[in-house]
Structure formats: structure tokens, C-alpha cells
Structure 1
């Protein structure tokens, strides 16, 4: 079954040929008018082709939504792609067990309901789990070993079909998760914050599955709080029959893209993604259809979802001004724009009334981050060990002018950042307050002859409320570095700057902390650090300039190294760098983003190199605490740790700015109150799809008739003028010939006489 399609077009037949009369001595009047008529018809026909094409496009029965993006889809494979626009594309094609609605609330999708239980309950259900099955329970085969929350059961939505017409069942869910866990865990990196904790999946029946959760290392059953937020696209098992379990992650190119989502690709999908210009998606006929018995079926039908979109075009722009012009003229219907262009459009009195501007915190929890590489082991030689010193981290954090970055780079479009979870979803947000005092100490070890032991000696200390302890403060940053033993080098410049170097005390401290083998190996090293930046990212380059200026004030040389994306990924994820600029975005539930700085994510998602037992504990507790209030306590502790650690400086929660043109589409909704309506939602069943309404091209005065009439008049006038000119030229030639003949006759008569 497929949507009805209509085609319109215009074909022009025939050929015109004006023959020259080489014999005629006079231009006949009827012939001149014939020339006029033919030229006019030719021009009018050409005009008709243009007008007909425009009218055909404007009155097409397909309701087309065209979206603009500053990135292109880097892979059609949901386990390979990196860009946010790729994840947006996946969410159009594929569906997830559940999805966050416009308010961030996890809502039924491929799973219509879910709940958690313990092993004893699972063993006593009408369709019980067989704990004697050694394939699934090689170690913990006693139901009592599985605590409440370690088993989640999902009832799946019935009468759902893949876009190739094959029914969706529990086999697809079981297979999708099973290929990503166990020995394949490191092969399938894309959804590791979820899959790391999955022990196995049990198919109970065709429309019910149970997912069992345990630790990755020793398979100890553990409760999981976020079993209602498994943001993993479900794939069709039947499309990969006979393939090895690693095929999807290592060999699959993403085609054909068989999903259960509201849209699907055309037969040109592969060529379009390769070309990186635009991708055309059409309505999935199996999403909402009526069978031969008159029964409504499909994922959309079950949840009474309907949309006006027939075709969605994802158009990719390499230059933003072209994208901005396109949304102004209505060539595209919506796009994301930079803060600078947002403000320029907002202050432009000529901005079309149909263009609406929106600025919100992204529903994808988007943050901008500047950070040190703190990986202690396995990093390449030659890296400066001072990058590991907490004194360097705190001093650089105090020298980071977040307000300057927000104002200068993001034009005050956003908020100051504290940690990796933004306030877009308030139920998960923590912000430092004035009700708690925080201390920071610079220390060294000093031998106590009385006790015969090395004891911690405080070299410098300061304290303030949590809200202000990390405030921009150049003086305090210099005091920290002075106390930590980093001395000014006034004899040598680095990139034109006088900076600090590792003095004897700093070298001693680095040895004490285990960051250097001996004092002589680090003594005198300058505090000069490369800031590796993706050359394509303008915002990161501008942030680095702010940091370079302020870091110089505390004796640190930060210099940029612009690289392409491939080099950046290689350097950063192998921990072969000192400092970098980056961003993160993730799921509504904080488990996804809080997973990234854990030791569990080293040599994978964790680009900072953090391996802190205290942070890991906070993460574990938030992941395993079922009570929402108690869980929020642990989420706050994890966020507070990131805020105070200083090695990761979350500088800004940028506002994401959008431009929408309502020439063809309306009812976009209130994104400020409902951030999930924004066009960068990427978890399937995109809410704005089912919200916007088609209104067609705006009604305008019909000027086609007058234009054609005017063109005809002009065409005839031009043709007449052309004929007159030609006629005058020909008459002039005839007169010249007659004069020549008369002259020759007269001359001939004289000769004869």
C-alpha cells in the first residue's frame, strides 16, 4: 500500500521555421505580420512553460515541508552517524520503545506500557521467567538474586508494521538489544549509556519482552531507574537474517532504511545522502493505514497520530547566509540559525511578516564545554603533566569568563553553564545556591619528624558559597598558581607571551601526586598548552580566543591548533591532547549525559579522561535509585561534582535559535513552554510532526493574467519593432540597389550617346 501520487507537466510539440525569400524584392505586409505573430507565440509559449511550472509546483497535491540544516547526514546507519542532524534523520525513520513528548515526558510508542519487578515476581507470572535457563542465567539463577527494578517488562504495541510491510514483533526488540551487549558491547558504541547495563533480553511472547539489568564486569543484578527511557532505535530482525551479530556496527551502510517511523526514504536515499545536498523523505504508508477489512493499523493508527506532511525535504547548507535567505523567502520552511543571525533578523524591519523567530534551550540538553585532558595512564609521551594538577584546573576555571563568552560569542542568547545537565527539563536540574559553603585548598606533603610520616600541609585556601566559589576571579586564580609553585618566567616568551613555568615546589607537588616520576623531569616546563579545535566550528574558535586572552593574565599560554573533524576525534579520544573545546547533548533523562564522565566510559565516550571513584559512586546511585526524589539527590551530587571539579568547564547553556516561515505551515506551537516541539527533537515520533498544519501557499492577488497580457503586448511590440527595423534595412538596401541601377543606366546612355 502506498500513498496516491499525482504528476503534472507540460510538453511542447512542433517546430517553427521562418524561410527567407531570396527572390522577393518587396517585404509583403502579410508576411511581416506573420513574423510578428510567430515571435509573439514563441515568447508566449516560453512564458507559459515558466508560469505552468510555477503553478504546478504551487498547486501540487503533496504537502511538502522543507527543513534547513547546517550539517549533513554523515551516515544512514544509526550506529555510525555522529552529527545531531543524523540522529534527527534516524528519528524520522525509526521508532523507539518510548519517546519524550513535547514536555519531556516519556510516552508510549513501540512499547505501550512498562513496569519493573524483582526475580521472585518474574518467576511467578502466568508466563514466568525460567531462571534455570543457563544460557540466560549462567551465574545468578536464583530469582531472589534479582532485586526490584532489575527486571523491566514491556508490553509492545500490536499491529505495527515495518515500512516494507512486515509486522513488528518482540523478535525485533530482543534482537536489536542482544546484538549490542556482552562481547559486542565495545563494537556497538552508539548507545552504550543504555546497553552497558543490559544483562539480557527475554522474549515472553510476540508482544512482550523482559529486560534484565546487571553490572557489566561481574553480572551482578542491579535495579535501574531509567528503564522508561531506552532511547535506542529498534531495527527489523528480518532484514539482517544470516548476518553476523557485528554486521550492523561494522559493515552495514544503513540501506535500505527499514523503520516503523512516520517517514521513509525514497529509492534515491543512498545517492542523496552521498551527495550531501538534500534528502527527500515521504510518508510511510504502513504507519497509519486501513486494511482490506476496514481496520486501522500501524503505529500511528494505534496512538491516533496523524500529520499533514506528505513529503519532508532535509536541505543541507554549507553557508548560513544562504540558509537565512532561504527561510526568509520561503524556499525552506524552518531552520536553526546562529545567535548573531537571529538578532540580525529580529532587528530587521524588512523581515517578512510570515517569518517567526524562536529562541529556547535545546530539548537535547545542549551545553558548550572547555576542558583539560586528565587521563593519567596510556597517554602519549610529551604531554605536560601540569595539565593534571587540580590547582591548574581551579585557576583556569576561575579565569574563564563565562559571562564574556555568553555575551561575546552567543550574544547573550543562553545562560551561564554550571555542569552537564541544563535547566531545559527542570525536574532534573540542579543549580548551586548560597546555602552551602565550599572550600578549595592547595596542598603539599611535609615530613613530620615527630610522627615520622608525611602529612598534608595547606599552602593556600579559600572558600565561598557554592554559587560564587567558581566565579570569574583573575586575582584569586593567580594566588592559587603562586601558592602551587608555578613561577613567572620573565626571560622567555611563548607565542609572544610571558607566562609561568613549573617551579621547584610545583615539581615536588606533581611528584607527590604521582603525575611525574621525578622533579628534574618536569622542572622548568612552561605552562604552554595546545587548544585543539575543529576548524569548522566557529563558536569554538571564538570561545578559545576569550580563554587565550584571560589565561594569559594568569600566566598560562593557550594556543589554538585548528584541525579537521577526523583529526580532532583521533586526538581527543586517544587522549593525545592538552585542552579542547567541545559540546554535548543527550537524552531527556540525565543518565545518558552523567554516564559520559564515568570511568566506565574511558576509551569510549569519556573524552575528559576522568576516572574518579566518588563521581562513579554518584552516577551509580542516580542510575539505581528508583524513588524519584531520592534519585534527584544523587543527580544533584553528580552535577555538583562536575561543577567543582574544574577540569571540565561547562561555560554556557546556549539558546538554540530557529527561524520559521509560515507561508505554507502554521501551528508550530509554543516551544518555550513545550521545548519538545522544537525541530531538533531526535528520539522518534517527532512531536511537531503531529502539531503543525498545512495551509498551502499564502493567498495572493492573481497577477498571472495581467502579466501574460502585458508580456504579449511587449512581445508583439518587440516583434513589430524587429520587423520594422528589418524592413527599413531591406528597403534601404533596395533603394541603394535602385539608385545603383539608375546610375548605371544613365551612365550607359551617356556612353551610347
Structure 2
């Protein structure tokens, strides 16, 4: 009997020893075994600061983000600017701050600019940045302009006579003539490229290796997916202005940015006013509004269409359009009607004293009658002297706003006897057809610069309207340093545009951005835009000076530490103490 009791005592002791060991282990390693969710929350992926954005349904693929391969529209340049820096850059006020240049000065005659570069700046691959990279870049882009249309169309190197490195961190740029918007259109636009990577690249349009995206910028390209129309960037932890406020920046295509914002697929999106209003029940969304240097204009194929080449016909078309009503029906107050002088009224360069074209169908019909199109067919469409229909094909991008504008233009022109055949296409298709001259009329939308050098001087190229007086004024205003003299020249340019109607600015759309403040706060619209005039909220300085409102790695650690004081986390310790007391008590009773 005694042996049986002794054996029972031993089993109880072993049992309590096991339980005691289990609870001691649980009290130490409980968070690992008992709280897998908490472990996941503390993982690096959960604590990473990831911001997802979208440019909306207008497109997602803007080309490979290197200086000579991006798609030559504003978004393409912005995607590239995340990786590459220029000498200077516009800040939130629109004033220029130094990026790769820490300071600069120019000669009184405007011909010589000297830039003092930042020291201890490195490329993404760790190589040092020096003045040689600046001289190389300007020479390379100027030399490759004939190969890459981006070089010729986006970067103005034609005004540059020479670029020389005075020492490792001083560069002197000499111009062949004074160039009034040099800072806006050259120093703040041309992205500096690493000589050690590009010096042996003969055709930059075909160079899309990983090294082609290496710059000094705040972000490093991790992935570009043309098929998925997405971009992924990681923060440059060694950026000379400080590490970005986010760890990862991702751009994805969204067919419905409002839904994407609401369900959390994206954290930020560029929107229209209608889309902003659809977010009215989303309390965590911060919406900002920017000046609408984004124009929708009716473009004529002046060189190739003998009817549209007639200025009087273009005036008749202008009188047939109610631009204010178009704005109200398309933007619902999210913009303003176009101005016949092309420069929007909120620009400092706006000239109100130009010819205006009020909505006047009767005036339009009179002009058409006098031009020889007074005979009307049974379908209400006018006939040419040859008996053909006075009819044009209207090309437009198939986004919702462009389509609505095209339908309204078709209706207005039909009312005065002009036939319109609609032809939709995606943005790149429309761009290709317009650039090739394969169109009659086109609804064309794009950002414009706040500086007339880029806003107006491109008219001969972008409209096919080659007016010798206009070209002369354009050349003069670029080289005029005195601002009042320059303003007089720009005023006269607007008068000529309004009198000749080379294009019809239908409306200017305001720009809007909505961002989930639980993630990030700090977006702004730059007066004058970035990259020479791109009206966007994606000024890269946003990500340097913005504020991350989500969970950081540090806060995640603090949360874990504070949660260790909660009853749930200390329950194993309390239970251990109770079990230890019970074990001692049972052993005492067994001994007795």
C-alpha cells in the first residue's frame, strides 16, 4: 500500500512539474506562441510606410522613367523626376530652391549662369556626383535631341552655347542669347544623368536596363511594369534633403479612382470635381484643389485641310460653340470657360483686351453663307461648292470628359450646318494621329505652363499656324530680360491668337487630389507646376516634407511595449504564480 501511495505522489509531482514548466515558458514566449496576430503586426511589412496612388482612368503607363524614354506628357516626366534631380526645383510657393545646386548667380546681361553644387551627393549606386555629370548631361541631351524626341521637345538646350565645370562642384552655363525663362524651363527641368552609366549609351531610346533609372533623386525605381501599368519606388535613405516620409511609393492604374479610394486599393488619386463630390462621405479623405492650367481645346489640322485653313471658317466654328455651357455640362463648375487669347484669366500674363467670340449661331451661319457654304442638304448639313458635305472627323480621347465635350461640339456644329463624325481612341492613339497629321478636328487636353515661353511659343508646332509676326514676337519675348517689355510682347501674342483662332480653348479644368489622411498628409499644388509647367500634386518635395500618419516602425515597437502591461499579456504570468502555489500546497498535503 505504501508503495502505491509513493507512486501516486511521484505522478502528481511530475504532473505539476510539467504544468509549472509549461506556464513558465508561456510567460516568457507567450507572444510568439499565443499571439500570431500580434507577431504579424510587428513584422517589417506591416510597419513599412507604403503609399499607393493612381492617375486615374486617363492612363497608367507613362513609359520607362529615365530622362530620354518616358512618354512625353506630364505624368511621364513626373515619374522620371522621382529618380532624377535637376539643378533647382520649385517648392510649394512656386519659388525655386536648390536641389543639386546649393546656390547660383547670373550675369547682368543674362548670358552666364554659375551654379555651385552640393557636395557629398551620391548616385543611387553609391558613386559620387560631381560637376562632370552636369556638363555631360547637358552635352548628351543636346547631342541626342535628334534621336530622342523627348530631348528635342521637352528640354530646351538650343539656347545653350556651352557648359563647363570650373571645378568639381562649380558649373558655368553660357547661353547664346539671353533667355528670360531659363530657370523655369532649363535649370528646373533638365534631369542630371550619371556620366559613368550613360557615356557609352549610343541610343538612349532603347536603353531601359535597371541602371538607366539610377539618379540622385528621393526614390529608387524598384519595378516598372508596362503591361500592368504600374510603378514601384523605394525611398532613397541617403537622399541629401533627408529620407522621404514614406518607404515605398506605388502607382497603379484604376478605372474608377473613387471606388479605389473608398475600398482602400489606393491611398491617393487625381480626381475631377464630380469624383470629389462622390467622396463626400469619406471623412478620412483630404481634398486639395489646384489652378486649372489643364486645357481642353479644339485643335484644327490647319496645314492639311483647305477648308479649316480659312480663318473665317474657324471663327464661325468659335461662334457656334457655347464654351460656358460646355464647362457647366462637363465640369459642373470644376473649371472655367476658355479664353480666346489662350492664357487663362488667373495667369499673371493674361491679357483681357483681345477679340472675344460670344456664342452666336446666327453670326456663325452668316460667316458660313458668305464663305460659299450657303446651300444645305436634306439632312441639314451644308454643302461645299463641289456638292460635298461640309463635314469633319472629330478625334478625341475616350475618357468621360473628352467624350462629353466631343458630343457637345458635334451637336453645336450640327445646329449651324456642319457635320461631325466622332472618332474616339485612347490617349496614345490620339497623340499619334494628331502628331502625324491624320485628323481634321481633335479634342486635345493637356497641361500648360504658366510661362509664355512654353505656353505660347509652341503654337506654330502645336497648331500648324505659322504667322510670321507671332513667331517674331515669340523670339523677342524669350530674350527680353525686362519683365514689363516682355509683358507687352506677350500681350500682342495673345491678340494675334484671338484674331486668327489657330485653336479654340474650350475650357480650363481645375485639378483635384484626394488622399487618405490616415496614411499621409502634405500634398500641394505648385504654382507654375513642375517640369516647366505640369499641374500636378506630385511635386517630389511633398514626400520630403509631408507627414506620415500611419503606423511607423518606431510606433509599432512602442505599441508592443505598452501592450505588455495589459492584463491579457500578463495572464500567463498570473496563472503561473497560481499554479506554483497550488503545486506547493498539494505536495504539502501529500507529505502529510
Question: Is this a same-fold pair by TM over 0.5?
Answer: yes
Give SS of 2:308's match: helix
Q: Distance in 2 between matches of 1:613 and 1:562?
A: 34
Structure 2 equivalent of residue 368 of structure 1: 296
Q: Distance in 1 between matches of 2:198 and 2:372?
A: 61
Structure whose alpha-carbon radius of gyration is higher = 1
Structure 2 equivalent of residue 659 of structure 1: 514
Q: 1:326–1:688: structure 2 CA closer, same or farther, 3 Å change rule? A: same
Structure 1 equivalent of residue 463 of structure 2: 608
Q: 1:582–1:254: structure 2 CA closer, same or farther, 3 Å change rule? A: farther
Give SS of 1:397's match: helix
Give SS of 1:583's match: strand
Gaps of 5+ in 1: 1-44, 119-147, 215-221, 288-297, 439-465, 504-522, 599-605, 710-753
Aligned residue among 79, 85, 98 for 1:108? 98
Q: 1:53–1:372: structure 2 CA closer, same or farther, 3 Å change rule? A: farther
Q: 1:152–1:525: structure 2 CA closer, same or farther, 3 Å change rule? A: farther
Deviations 1:479-506 (A, max 9, x none): 2112222222234x4xxxx222233xxx
Aligned residue among 368, 375, 389 for 1:526? 389
Gaps of 5+ in 2: 1-31, 569-592
Contact 2:391 2:419 in 1 (8 A): yes
Contact 2:236 2:244 in 1 (8 A): no
Q: 1:328–1:404: structure 2 CA closer, same or farther, 3 Å change rule? A: same
The TM-score, its normalising length taken from structure 2, stands at 0.79
**Number of residues of Structure 1 aligned to a counterpart in Structure 2:** 515
Structure 1 equivalent of residue 576 of structure 2: none
Give SS of 2:376's match: strand
Give SS of 2:459's match: coil
Deviations 1:639-683 (A, max 9, x none): 3333332230111110112212111223546x599988xx97669
Aligned residue among 225, 245, 248 for 1:273? 225
Structure 2 equivalent of residue 579 of structure 1: 441
Contact 2:230 2:252 in 1 (8 A): yes
Q: 1:416–1:566: structure 2 CA closer, same or farther, 3 Å change rule? A: closer
Give SS of 1:185's match: coil
Deviations 1:544-593 (A, max 9, x none): 11111111122211211123445433321122221111122244433223
Q: Distance in 2 between matches of 1:394 and 1:264?
A: 50
Aligned residue among 316, 328, 334 for 1:413? 334
1:252 to partner: Cα distance: 4.2
Structure 1 equivalent of residue 83 of structure 2: 93
Q: Distance in 1 between matches of 2:45 and 2:68?
A: 40
1:72 to partner: Cα distance: 1.7
Structure 2 equivalent of residue 688 of structure 1: 542
Aligned residue among 589, 592, 597 for 2:459? 597
Structure 2 equivalent of residue 743 of structure 1: none
Structure 1 equivalent of residue 70 of structure 2: 81
1:694 to partner: Cα distance: 1.7
Give SS of 1:642's match: helix
Q: 1:680–1:152: structure 2 CA closer, same or farther, 3 Å change rule? A: closer
Q: Counterparts of 1:39-58 in structure 2 under 5 Å? A: 51-52=37-38, 55-56=41-42
1:166 to partner: Cα distance: 1.1
Aligned residue among 17, 33, 51 for 1:65? 51
1:329 to partner: Cα distance: 4.1
Give SS of 2:164's match: strand
Whether 1:239 and 2:180 are equivalent positions in the alignment is no
1:423 to partner: Cα distance: 5.3
Whether 1:562 and 2:414 are equivalent positions in the alignment is no
Structure 1 equivalent of residue 266 of structure 2: 332
Whether 1:482 and 2:369 are equivalent positions in the alignment is yes
Q: Give the RMSD, CA atoms, in angstroms.
A: 3.3
Whether 1:284 and 2:236 are equivalent positions in the alignment is yes
Give SS of 1:93's match: coil
1:253 to partner: Cα distance: 5.3
Q: Distance in 2 between matches of 1:634 and 1:237?
A: 40
Q: Counterparts of 1:292-331 in structure 2 under 5 Å? A: 298=240, 300=241, 305=242, 307-317=244-254, 319-320=255-256, 323-331=257-265
1:54 to partner: Cα distance: 6.3
Aligned residue among 144, 167, 183 for 1:228? 183
Structure 2 equivalent of residue 602 of structure 1: none
Structure 2 equivalent of residue 353 of structure 1: 283
Q: 1:471–1:47: structure 2 CA closer, same or farther, 3 Å change rule? A: farther
Q: 1:501–1:195: structure 2 CA closer, same or farther, 3 Å change rule? A: farther
